[in-house]
Amino acid sequence: MPKKELSERKEKILTALVDDYIKSAVPVSSGDIQSKYLPEVSSATIRSELNALEALGYIDKPHTSAGRVPLAEAYKLYCEKAFINREFSESDLSEMTGRFSKQVSDIEKLSAEAAKIITDSTNYTSIVVTNNFEDVEIEEIKLVGLNNGIALVLIVTSCGIISDKSIELPDEIMHAGLETASELLNGVFKGQKVSKLDTDAFLAKIGENLKGYRQVFDEIIDILKNYSLEKRKSVHVEGALRVLDYSDSPSDVKNFLQLVGDSESLEKLVSTPDDNIELSLKIGSDENGGIDKCAIVTAEYKINGQVIGQAGVIGPERMDYKKVLSVLDGIKKSLENVFDGDKTEE
Amino acid sequence: MPKKELSERKEKILTALVDDYIKSAVPVSSGDIQSKYLPEVSSATIRSELNALEALGYIDKPHTSAGRVPLAEAYKLYCEKAFINREFSESDLSEMTGRFSKQVSDIEKLSAEAAKIITDSTNYTSIVVTNNFEDVEIEEIKLVGLNNGIALVLIVTSCGIISDKSIELPDEIMHAGLETASELLNGVFKGQKVSKLDTDAFLAKIGENLKGYRQVFDEIIDILKNYSLEKRKSVHVEGALRVLDYSDSPSDVKNFLQLVGDSESLEKLVSTPDDNIELSLKIGSDENGGIDKCAIVTAEYKINGQVIGQAGVIGPERMDYKKVLSVLDGIKKSLENVFDGDKTEE
DNA sequence: GTTAGCAGACAAAGGGTTAGAGTGCTAACA
DNA sequence: TGTTAGCACTCTAACCCTTTGTCTGCTAAC
C-alpha cells in the first residue's frame, strides 16, 4: 500500500498515534497528538498530516467525528522501527538464560519452557514450534517376544527409543528365533536415517531366501514412517486463556481458543512468515489462517544456520509490540547462550 | 431446606416453572404458568402457591415485579422427578452401544469415547473419570540391553506394557547376563499385584547371595509404584469450549476453562457425590469446588458392583436436565452392554 | 506550508416519559 | 377454607429528546 518513504514528521505522528492507541485503546485525535507528542505545531497541521496518512492507508477513523485508529500497515511500520531501535536489558537476559539452563537436555522441554517464559513476560498467548531434526538415525532394532506370538518392537534411535509398538510374528520368524530375526533387522536398518528409508534397497538386501520376513519389514517401515511424521514438528502453546484478558466477544474468544487448540493450523500459521526477515508480523486473518483483530509476531530461531523452530506471540492487534519484540529477541539470545554453553561442555 | 412433601399442585407448578425457565431463560410469571400449564386454576391461585414455594426456598424473584426463577433446591427436585420418570429410546441406545463396541479393548479409549458421545448428544462439556482397576497383575518382566550398560525395563502387565523406563545395570548383572537377571526378576515379580508390592518379602526371596541385585529391585519397585499411581485415575474432558455457547461473561468463562483444564480439581469435583444415589447433582460452588451459575450432573458406573468411574456433564444451571439424564443413563446401559458382550466372548 | 477559527457531524450520557408485565392485597364467593 | 376477580403498586425496558463534548474538514489569513 505505502508507495514511498514517509516524511519524518508523518512518521513521527504515526508512531505517536500507534503508541497512544496501544496505551489507551481509544481513537486518537489530532489534539491528543499535538498536546502529548508534537506541541511545536498546531492541531490543524496534524489534522492535515493525518488526512494524508489516511489517504496512504495507514490509519482510519471509525466515524466522521472520531479520532484515528491505526491500520495493519501502521502496526507493521511501527514494529519495524521498534525492532531496529530495540533495547534489551542484560539482567532480563541473564534471568531468561537461567531459566533455560536448568533443563538444557531436552529440546521438547526447552520449547515448553520458552513458551512459559514468553507468556510470563508478555502476558500474551505464546506458541513455540520446533522442527525436530529430521536426520534421526537408527541405532538398533530388537524384537522382544511376548506371549501369543506377539513381539514388541524396540527401535533405539539417536533421538530416543520407540517402544510402544508390537507386531504379530509370522511362523517363519517364530521358528528361526527372535535373536536371529533381530540380527537380520539390524543388518538392514542399523545406521539408516529415518527420513530416508529406501524400501526397495531393503528388500533387495533381504534377498530371495528371506521373503517370509517381508511382512515384518513392512510393519517396521510403517512404524518408522509414523514416527518421523509425528516427531517432525512439535507445537507448544502457553497461556491460551490470556485471550480473556483483552477480548469481550464470546465468538471471538471461541475462534481464538479453537485456533489455539489446533496444532496443525497453528504450525501453519507460525511457520509461514510473510517475509524472509528475522521477524514476521501478521495482522488479522488471511489465506494462511490468522484471526481477526489479532496479531501474531513470530521469530525464527536458528542454531548453526539451521532453522530449529519458531516462537511467537498471538495477542490483540494493539499489543505491546515493544515488549513482545524485546522478549522474543531475548529468547533468541538465551537459546544461543544455552546451546553455546552446551557445545563447550562437550 | 424443604421440610415436608409438597402438595401435588405445588409440585406441578414447580416443575412447570423449571421447565419453562429452562426453555426461556426468563423469569416465569404466574400468568405464564396458568396459560401454558395449569389453565384450570386462576393466576391468582398460582400466585399464592408461588408465594408458598418462595417461602419454602424453592424459588426466588429478581425484583418485586418480576416472575420467579428456580433455586438450586428446585432443580434438585426437578432432577429427581425427571430421573424417576426417565425414558430412553432403544435406537439411541443401540447407536451408543455401536460407537463403543468398535473400541472395546482399551478402557482409556472407552472413556474418551464416552466423553465424546456425551458432549455430542448434550452439547455440554463432559467429564469422564476412570478408576483404573487397582489389581494390575505383573505377567512378565524383561531387561533388554541397550548400549552403555543401560537396560530397558519391559514390564508386561494385565493392563498393558510399561516400556518407557530404563535403568543402569550394575556390574554384577552385566556379568551374569540379562537372561539370568530377567529370569530371576520374573521369579520374584510374576503374578504379583502392582497395588500390593511387599518389598520385604521380595528381598527375602532374593536371599543373601544376590544382594547386588538390590539396586535393580528398588528401581523396578519405583517404576511399578509410579505406574500404579499415575494409572489410578484418568480424567477425560470433552467440549470444554461449549461454555461459550451459554456464557457471556469473560470472567465466568475464564473460571470455567481453568477448572476444566485442571484434572485434579475436576476429579475431586466429580468423585465426591453429595448423595449415595446413582446420580448426583451439584449446583453452584461450595467447599468441594464447583462453579457459580453452573451445574454438574454426575453418574457413577459400576461393573460387577465395583465402581469403575464417573461420567458427568458440566453446564449452565438451567441446562436440559432431561436430555442429560437420559444420555448419562444411556451411557451406563451401553457400558453394561459392552462389558457383558466382552464377558460372553471370553 | 502553517495556522486560527468556525460550522457540522457524531457518540455518549442523562433525563423524562411511556408501556408492559408482574406482584400482593383485598373483598367476594363457593 | 380455598379460590377468584379486580385493582393499586412496583419495577424494568424501551424510547425519545436534549445536552455535552470531541473531532473533523474547510476556509481565509498569515
State the pLDDT confidence band at A93, using cuts at 50, 70 and 90.
confident
Chain A touched by B137 (CB under 8 Å): no
Neighbours of B136 (CB within 10 A): 22
- CATH dotted code for B8-81: 1.10.10.10
Nearest CB to A253 within list B152, B163, B253: B253
Report whether B257 contacts B236 (CB < 8 A).
no
8 Å CB contact of B250 and A244: yes
d(CA A144, nearest CA chain B) in Å? 8
- pLDDT (average), residues A307-334: 91
Which among B283, B295, B322 is positioned nearest to B83, based on CA atoms? B322
- Report B:254-293 residues touching A (Cβ under 8 A): 254, 257-258
Which of B108, B139, B144 would you mutate first to test chain A, the one with the most A CBs within 10 A?
B144
- Interface check for A161 against chain B (CB to CB < 8 A): the answer is yes
* Alpha carbon distances (Å) from B3 to A139, A250, B53, B76, B215: 74, 42, 12, 14, 64
Strand-pair partners of A302? A307
**Strand partners for B160:** B157
Residue nearest to nucleotide C9 (CA to C1'): A65
Residue B292 reports pLDDT greater than 90: no
Is the domain spanning B138-230 CATH 3.30.70? The answer is: no
Cell of A176: 528361526
Bridging pattern class, strands A59-60 and A69-70: antiparallel
* Interatomic distance B286 CA / C22 C1' (Å): 33
B203 touches A: beta carbon within 8 Å: no
* Residue recorded with cell 479393548: B105
Q: Which nucleotides of C are covered by protein (CB under 7 A)?
A: 2-5, 8-11, 20-26
Higher pLDDT: B261 or B342? It is B261
Which nucleotide, over all strands, has the C1' atom closest to the CA of B28?
Answer: C22
User: What nucleotides of chain D have any atom within 7 angstroms of a protein Cβ?
Assistant: 3-6, 9-12, 21-27
Of A147, A164, A244, the CB nearest to B253: A244
Residue A70 makes CB contacts below 8 A (sequence gap 6+) with A14, A17, A18, A21, A58, A59, A78, A318
Using CB atoms within 10 A of its CB, is residue B133 exposed (0-12), middle (13-18) or buried (19+)?
middle
Q: At A305, is the secondary structure helix, strand, or coil?
A: coil
- Pairing between strand A233-238 and A279-286? unpaired
Q: Which nucleotide is nearest to B27 (CA to C1')?
A: C22
Residue pLDDT, tens place only, B5-33: 789 999 999 999 999 999 999 999 999 99
Count of Cβ atoms closer than 10 Å to residue B306 Cβ: 10
Rounded CA separation A108/A126 (Å): 15
Nearest residue, CB atoms, B244 vs list A142, A144, A253: A253
**Contact of B119 with B174, CB cutoff 8 Å:** no
Query: Between the CA of residue B259 and those of B253, B265, B267, B314, what are the distances in Å?
Result: 10, 7, 10, 11
pLDDT tens digits, one per residue of A71-90: 999 999 999 999 988 877 77
Contacts of B244 in chain A (CB under 8 A): 250-251, 253-254, 257
Interface of A with B in 204-243 (CB under 8 A): 241
Q: What is the pLDDT of residues B142-201, one digit of tens each?
A: 888 877 778 888 888 877 788 778 888 887 777 777 888 888 888 888 888 887 777 777
Pick out residues 224-243 of chain A having their CB under 7 A from any atom of nucleic acid strand C.
none
Q: How far apart are CA B284 and CA B168, in angstroms?
A: 52
| The C-alpha cell that represents A336 in the structure block | 544461543
Nearest-CA distance from A222 to chain B in Å?
A: 20
CATH class of the domain at B88-131+233-345 = alpha beta
Q: Do A247 and B250 touch (CB under 8 A)?
A: yes
Lowest mean pLDDT among A79-88, A108-117, B119-128, B229-238: B229-238
Q: Is A104 on the interface with B (CB under 8 A)?
A: no
Other Cβ atoms less than 10 A from the Cβ of A34: the count is 20
- Boundaries of every domain in chain A: 8-81, 88-131+233-345, 138-230
Q: What is the pLDDT of residue A344?
A: 45
Residue A346 has pLDDT above 70, yes or no: no
What's the pLDDT score for residue A345? Answer: 42
> Is the predicted pLDDT of residue A276 greater than 60, yes or no?
no
Whether pLDDT at A232 is above 80: no
